[in-house]
Structure 1
Amino acid sequence: MSVHHDPNSPLLSEIFEPRIPGKPFARNNRMNFYTYMVQEGNLAQLLFAKAPGVDPKEYAVAALVHKGMPPTFITHGDADQHVGLEQAHEVVNAMKKEGVDFYFEELPGLPHGYDGKEEVEMKKMYECLLKHL
């Protein structure tokens, strides 16, 4: 991962392959870098290393919430090891503040990416969709 620590190294870009349930992720420089950042807990510091003066909070989803957004369904496992549950709560609070119609489902014991598993039915999400179609 040493190439990723050098902010003067060339930028990495590769074609992203869509996720196919049951098939392992393709291992490439981008995926290896992401996995490394999550593992080391330094995603924000490395991701914004070439952007001095940029506050990662400016890129938070909660900062993008605005009046007039369509109804939104938010689900988050409380055992998510990649994205903190507090980020979902920040989005929910921003939606409350802006008066956006939303539905929030916090799921105990579920990790990041749980919704990609075939056995997960996402019933409440479909109920939400059907209500607003």
Structure 2
Amino acid sequence: MYKIIPNKTSLLQFENETKNTLSLWKNRPAVDNIKTMAEQLDIYYGKNRDIFADMGGYIVIIYGETTEIEKEHEEILNRHFLKKDFYEFEDIYEHEGETVTVRLYLCSSDYSVATVSVVHG
């Protein structure tokens, strides 16, 4: 499963909808990083932009079983002609047996996709 997050409002709404079911929200350092990325997209590219037609990009949170996460991650990268190991940076957050990996992929000088993979130990 995955959720595309175009802006901070969408992120906060998704957090509210899944706060009791998705353990990601307990990992405060990871969540703070994701919120910062969403805020930066809003500031520099606008809160109401079309993520597929305008500049900026988006964040995608991928969660579920490990095989499902890997499959969804690959499909998202393929949509943008990206390779799994060609990310600009990676942050890894471990908390209570769960690993959250945040990777930023640059599609162009003004468009990026940040993937957030939530894997249970």
- TM-score of the pair, normalised by structure 2: 0.29
Larger Rg: 1
Ranked by relative contact order (alpha carbons within 8 Å, sequence separation 6 or more), the top structure is 2
After TM superposition, the score normalised by the length of structure 1 is 0.27
